[in-house]
Copies of this chain bind each other. A is one copy, B any other.
Amino acid sequence: MSRESYALLILDLMGTFAFALNGALTAVRAARLDIVGVITLGMITAIGGGIIRDVLLNRLPPATFQDWRYLAVAAAGALIAFAFAHLLRRLSLSIMILDAVGLSVFAITGATKALDFNIGPAQAIILGTISAVGGGTIRDAFLGRVPTVMRDDLYAVPALVGATIAVVASLLGFYGPVTAIGAATACFLLRVAGVHFNLRAPRPPGTRDRAAPPGQD
Contacts and interface: CB of A to CB of B under 8 A. Distances in A.
Interface stretch (A53-61, A97-105, A162-170, A184-192): A53-61
B122 A68 contact: yes
A142 interface: yes
A150 B202 contact: no
B82 A35 contact: no
Interface string A177-217: 00000000000000000000000111111110010100000
Contacts of A66: 119-120, 123
Q: Which 10 A-B pairs have the closest CB atoms?
A: A37-B150, A58-B60, A34-B201, A86-B206, A36-B156, A31-B146, A85-B204, A35-B202, A35-B201, A33-B151
A144 interface: yes
A142 B146 contact: yes
A36 to B, nearest CB: 5
Interface string A109-122: 00000000101101
A143 interface: yes
Interface in A101-154: 117, 119-120, 122-123, 126, 137, 140-147, 149-152
Nearest to A159: B36
A32 B123 contact: no
A142 B140 CA distance: 8
